[in-house]
Chain A
């Protein structure tokens, strides 16, 4: 059920907020043992808040847009009084003394926190396997990963354990798991949404966004979380449009660009390619014009990203020193020894690897060769997009070169895991809004994701095209089978 369907039932009194949240909590209890999408379930507080909303409703109070809607939050967004672990032993007992801006906006809009979801440790990974608290599994096939890093948030929406959820996207961490789990995932323009209270990974790339069962639901959530925040100086001080404002306007005459370099990929699965191209032709039937465009530096995105993101991460993660908060080793000889053993003990290998890459890239003698070079290539990648958007309104690519892979498939080979983010990373480097939505299934009945990329701040147009594609595609009607059929 979508946000608008539940809202209607709540308003008509066909269901109470308490009944609604209890239904979701029950589902979590019955199926999440198998999926491990939640690290924490907020049972008591969610029920108490639901009762409060029911009372307000029966007292005739006018209620905010998400009143009573159960939402899950990736566990790298700070929630006051509730643990925020980043799926790391470093923060396994960390309780934030403050609330992130995005979650505060959700609660102000009446949403209920059902729980905090699993992720790759500090959002570093593409499968949720680097979580210190176990891998989340994909509801479509529990031998497979849900993608990552926001795998818990994606799996929870796919299995109907919450109506919508929040994730964060640094190199594809919302879109790739959305693609693997057959749900909608949206990364807004960099600066559209506040990062205050999002545990920092790579500050020039990180952006918070929603997972949902439909484009309309994703727009509903974005509407609530978007907008300037004086606590985040990179948040854009611009008016927030009605993101669903163009849903019904015809897309006839719009130009959709197919990025040549994406479809020429060696590693691109043929079934994925076929399905995404079929989606493009369905859009053509709605009157859009398909145009092939070239972004010559698109495929250098990964190399660029794996310099910039670890560099920023190595600086951001320097704060975990065993002194102010988080874990601390027993080492008491001296301060440096204590910090060094704390970080060795409490960070997992993927996090350590990225700290090492970043520290190396930023160290004396290597800065120009790596960091500066990567930032220059980043400029070229941005220029490719600028040129493309002179010719087209929206760009179209697959979200991921493959469907969900099996747990352990990239074990001991970090580089091959990194390559799975090939198609999502460039939008982060250029700060562009991008969405993944289901467009088909492969022969194993695993979902395939279509990525649409919009120009800076053009979420409204991006969502318009996505919504209209969704209306004709019917793909969302297919749901996971067995235990994981959502209500």
Chain B
């Protein structure tokens, strides 16, 4: 695995929707470098033909009848929005000019 650098962190921060200052990018780069260096111990483990585990205790698909229910909390849910306008969530424009 190649070493993570500030540009990688900047790119990942953008993907993760985190607007970070250059100072923070630098701090996180150093910390992530150490953490990923530690994580790299996994590379040495032979996992050929080993299936991945997504969850440890197997569950079968939990099916239920598809019956609609009215929970009546629409108003409460919309009201949680930091910017509400009528029955809508108000957001800034989606595309920059």
Contacts and interface: CB of A to CB of B under 8 A. Distances in A.
A307 B16 contact: no
B57 A190 contact: yes
Contacts of B13: 356
Interface of B: 1, 4, 8-9, 12-20, 24, 28, 31-32, 34-36, 38-43, 45, 47, 50-57, 59, 61-62, 64, 73, 76-77, 80-83, 89, 91-96
Contact of B94 (A321, A334, A363): A334
A443 B19 CA distance: 47
Given A375-B53, A379-B52, A414-B31, A321 B17 contact: yes
B39 A335 contact: no
Given A324-B81, A328-B83, A341-B19, A300 B45 contact: yes
20 contacts: A190-B55, A230-B62, A303-B38, A304-B42, A323-B81, A323-B91, A325-B81, A331-B92, A334-B94, A337-B19, A340-B18, A340-B19, A355-B16, A356-B9, A356-B28, A369-B43, A376-B52, A379-B53, A382-B53, A429-B53
A374 interface: yes
Interface residues of A, number: 75
Contacts of B50: 376, 379-380
B42 A233 contact: no
Contact of A378 (B12, B36, B52, B62): B52
Contacts of B19: 337, 340-341, 343-344
A98 B73 CA distance: 9
Given A230-B64, A323-B89, A359 B16 contact: yes
Contacts of A353: 28, 31-32
Interface string A160-189: 000000000000000000000000000001
Q: Secondary structure at chain A's binding surface: helix, strand, loop or mixed?
A: helix
Contacts of B20: 344, 352
A379 to B, nearest CB: 4
A97 B73 contact: yes
Interface in A353-377: 353, 355-357, 359-360, 363, 366, 369-370, 372-377
A352 B53 contact: no
A380 B35 contact: no
Contact of B8 (A230, A360, A430): A360
Interface string A296-314: 0100101110110000001
A463 to B, nearest CB: 18
A163 B61 CA distance: 37
A373 B31 contact: no
Contacts of A382: 53, 56
Contacts of B57: 189-191, 236, 431, 456
Given A375-B52, A431-B55, A357 B15 contact: no
